[in-house]
Amino acid sequence: MSVPSNGRERNTAAGIMVRQMTAHDIAGFSTLFCDVFASPPWNERWDSAAVAETIGRTMKNSGFIGFTSMKAKWPVGFITGFRLAPIPHLSSVLYIDQLFVDGRVQGAGIGRMLMNTLLRAASEHAYRGALLLTMPKSAAESLYRSAGFRRMLRPVLLRGKGIYYMRLNRERYE
């Protein structure tokens, strides 16, 4: 199965479609981001306009890769990442910046579909590893561990989040 790129789409089970993220998705990204992160366990309040501005800038980063999952015409999840280019020895590492799924459909495998799609694309773009931050002992950590991520630098936490890394293996995602 090929990775969605250049606007191509991939249909998945349960009426969920995964496709490459574009600038047209910024409003949906910011709205869903604010809704998801206002819920437990995060309980954070975000300004939608500030989130939209931030993701717009992020999409311009070197090596940006982003995907959205859609149910009918509505976004139900996003995943984004970019190259850690300013740090020379990490230039072949994809930093996974965001992964979030609408709370009404969490647990349906959408996060895993998005993660697998992103990791496949990262492998095809010659990334050799992926790095992310997440809260230890969370549902997100369980997803990342099942995908192959391992926690680094124990007991170091950055803003309460652990650092997780995985080496990418191109054949695994083809």
Residue 30 lies in a domain: yes
Distance CA 160, CA 45 (A): 17
Residue 1 lies in a domain: no
Residue 95 lies in a domain: yes
Distance CA 14, CA 48 (A): 29
Residue 116 lies in a domain: yes
Q: How many domains does the chain have?
A: 1
Copy the structure tokens of residue 4: 């969605």
Domain boundaries, position 89: 9-173
The answer to whether 95 and 158 are in contact (CB under 8 A) is no
3-class secondary-structure state, position 41: coil
Q: Half-sphere exposure of residue 8, counting CA atoms within 13 Å on the CB side?
A: 9
Distance CA 54, CA 2 (A): 29
Residue 44 lies in a domain: yes
Which CATH number do you get for residue 58?
3.40.630.30
pLDDT digits (tens, 9 = 90+) for 14-65: 689 999 999 999 999 999 999 999 998 788 999 999 999 999 999 998 789 9
pLDDT digits (tens, 9 = 90+) for 107-156: 899 999 999 999 999 999 888 899 999 888 888 889 999 999 998 876 65
Question: How does DSSP classify residue 158?
Answer: B
pTM of the model: 0.84
